[in-house]
Amino acid sequence: MRSSLVLLTALVALAAYYIYIPLPSSMSDPWKLMLLDATFRGAQQLSNLIHYLGLSHHLIALNFIIISFGKKSAVSSAQVKVTDTAFDGVEVRVFEGLPKPEEPLRRSVIYIHGGGWALASAKIKYYDELCMTMAEDLNAVIVSIEYRLVPQVYFPEQIHDVVRATKYFLQPEVLKQYSVDPGRIGISGDSAGGNLAAVLVQQFSQDANLRNKLKLQALIYPVLQALDFNTPSYQQNVNTPILPRYVMAKYWVDYFKGDYDFVQAMVVNNHTALDVYEAAAFRAHLNWTSLLPSSITKNYKPVVQTTGNARIIKELPQLLDARSSPLIADQEVLQNLPKTYILTCEHDVLRDDGIMYTKRLVNAGVDVTLDHFEDGFHGCMIFTSWPTNFSVGIRTRYSYIKWLDQNL
């Protein structure tokens, strides 16, 4: 009996040690976040073991775990019709809300899910529930794109998928089929999905035939650049769940099918050191000392290496491509963008990406709403139902849908 009690005590202590991480008191539901983070870390470590044993790629294994616990079939409700189909060969899940009696044509949002270009799905419950809610609350048609993921494909194939699906949907005959008002269509996405949405809008803005097809863009804690992993938010949230800095840098390397040996050099900005001449032209677009307010910069200092690793940019020139890092796009591109909503969270390495993009868009004359949540963390908006229901998740979702309702 005594030995069993000792063993139980030891197991509880080990579990507590694994789960507990110090979190700011201002963060929403910190103990619940610790449990969520521990679960995700456990899944990551299991997938890494599977990769090490040669059984599967670690991202395929991790996504299998994620989808196994959350895949949801296309089930309609009384208010929303849900169907799985394909637009120009790209899988999509379409959510059709009921039209308003006085508006026979409905609004529409094209939604792109997050997951580091490698994880999640339009068909897991988190995104299914989000899009169901959007369709019902907005009386809208929501098109959730099931783009291909790393390691099945790499940059820029994810972009090609969302562009193909969006162009197909924007055809007059398709909009007529879904009873969508062609003047009231927006695009949105979270995290890596926000990156893909921002890239698509920039591409459309440079095409005279597509420039005015999208009324707005709504970007939820988007990832927008890979040149500086030492912005104040990266420094402040270096180990903050559920997206530590090192993990974000690995997602970038995976997206480009790069060498993991580059990750450690990238997190200290060796890939954009002063002697890496290819990066010099983009530094002005990422000068956070001028793009961020003093309330954000505080006492943080820029990390600029004198000598770096030029091999990284030579092997991964995609790092300097605006199709991967829309924050570095030229001003001439930004000035043609539609009305924009950007949601940022204080406890998120990507916070400053969104705030800097807001500043650059404002400087370009774009109408922008920055919606910042002091107790928010990366990914929080999809966590609104038990057991992963967070107060800030509910509030961010409400604020996001309210803005769409008022502006679309």
Residue positions annotated with a catalytic role: 191, 348, 378
Specify whether the CB–CB gap between 333 and 303 falls below 8 A: no
The 3-class SS string of the chain reads CHHHHHHHHHHHHHHHHHHCCCCCCCCCCHHHHHHHHHHHHHHHHHHHHHHHCCCCCHHHHHHHHHHHCCECCCCCCCCEEEEEEEECCEEEEEEEECCECCECCEEEEEEECCCCCCCCCCCEHHHHHHHHHHHHHHCEEEEEECCCCCCCCCCCHHHHHHHHHHHHHCCHHHHHHCCEEEEEEEEEEECHHHHHHHHHHHHHHCCCCCCCCCCEEEEECCCCCCCCCCCHHHHHCCCCCCCCHHHHHHHHHHHCCCCCCHHHHHHCCHHHCCCCHHHHHHHHHHCHHHHCCHHHHCCCCCCCCCCCCHHHHHHCHHHHCCCCCHHHCCHHHHCCCCEEEEEEEEECCCHHHHHHHHHHHHHCCCCEEEEEEEEEECCHHHCCCCCCCCHHHHHHHHHHHHHHHHHC
